[in-house]
Structure 1
Amino acid sequence: MTSDAHTADRATDAFLAHRNLLFTVAYELLGSAVDAEDVLQETWLRWVEVDLPRVRDPRAYLVRITTRQSLNRLRARKRRKEAYVGSWLPEPMLTAPDVAEDVELTESVSLALLLVLETLSPTERAVFVLREAFDVSYDEIATALGKSPAAVRQIAHRARGHVHARRPRTAVAPGEVRAAVDSLQRAFENGDLQAVLDVLAPDVVLVSDGGGVKQAALRPIAGAAKVGRFIIGGTGKAGSRLTGVPTVVNGSPALLVQLDGKVDGVMAVRVQDARITGIYYIRNPAKLSRIASEVPLTLR
């Protein structure tokens, strides 16, 4: 084997060994599996141009490339989001049921946390994700972002406070979430408004994302009565049948919603004290490409 071929094999092996990690990093930074896949392609193109003998830690180097490419996309995406029709929600991903048993991983890819991360600046988001989810050192984050370790520590402190003030306060067992999701499924399949109201918290908020392609509320809907009416009567055409298929999305129990037997969207929830406090309903077809097969994720 020639030296060039051997180097190419080493580059490929290193990239494949860390691919799931790199995808998870990009997804947490972007909230989009499609964009994360594009970032991985860009990372690969830059990785094969690297002088491998000079790379002491391939994992750290690859994470650095992925972070920089993700930041470029985050900064460019601002204009695209400003023109988005209605509410924007992260792209849901079908995950293996056992992901729910990894509390740290489930929390880091939850739709609720990803929405909170959208309120951070690109740099704050990168620092928070790399430090809190992937335990990257301040020095390595500083190298990736072109900042001093002291500056990174300050950004991390600010971002951590912002996120902690907005994220759900308590962790909920997957079984409790599944019970609430199952109750919601039975209620809307039966068209039973009272049963829907019984599983909703009084101050529940529903956010629906149709991207201007599918019918969706342009703004979040607040309050059990309004949310209940939307679920029963506002998601499909008169005479159509809405059903739900239990699934696991972003590590948490959810529903694959079908309208007359065809995939209509994904419905994920936040639960507290056995009641649903938040509903995320993603109907935009462009965001449903990762619900047909499980997406492997990892923090290590």
Structure 2
Amino acid sequence: MSRYPAMFSRLADADEGAFVPFVMVGDPTPAASEAIIEALIDGGADALELGVPFSDPVADGPTIQRAHLRALGAGASLADCLEVVARVRGRHPELPIGMLIYGNVPFAIGLEEFYRRCAAAGIDSVLLPDVPVRESAEFSAAAAAAGIDAVYIAPPSASAQTLDAVAAASRGYVYAVSRAGVTGTERASSTVGLAQSVARLRQDAAAPVMLGFGISAPAQVAEAIEAGADGAISGSAVVKIVEAHAPTLAAAAAEAGTDSQQYTTAMQALQAELRDFVAAMKAATRPAP
């Protein structure tokens, strides 16, 4: 059963928006990514969006593409990622966990088997960034059969017809893209037209709306919520922090091993920066005092 309704209800009662960080499972290694995820939760993440490495991530910009490559270079497979998620789920039974994964993966495995594995790991939702809503029926049916929320993207400046289709198909939440392009480019997020899109989606009784792409600062989170979104998702900014610390982690692991104090110190520095980032972004979801 999806954990999103309880989260959004709790946040509405507290007059807060949701902040959801994205991170790549397996980056820079599966074990390190598990510690990274725990830091995001410690910082106050309301939910998680977790990426699975893929060889051709067409919706992602250079920052997240490099995260895909680091995770693939570390040998991270779908099975490895699901094992990480299952352990996180065991420690955080009420936390909504979404997966972002490219459509070729479930298609290659078989849709029923893919969503069954996701459900067994404790995943609440799956977002397929390269599957438009007009091609979603088969994926949605398999997701629903496994008890997984299918999440679809509401593109910027989408037609009313597209917004209606996204509203009808999405469960858990709707991923509203803040601007055209790929993730993590230099262009900032935009809320232009967001209020109208949210109104149209809610007219169709859509799931809560989360704004993503280009969200990297607290002011952007606050702007998204002021424009009518129920929360914000930040990916590239989180991944950049991981990327900045990855060489130090790798050097410590190579020189002294992952059980060494040197590696522990490097990981603690990364975790501290992630906690601080998430705490600042989460604070922006609350009303000004």
TM-score normalised by L of structure 1? 0.27
Which of structures 1 and 2 has the bigger CA Rg? 1
Normalising by the residue count of structure 2, what TM-score does the alignment of the two structures yield? 0.28
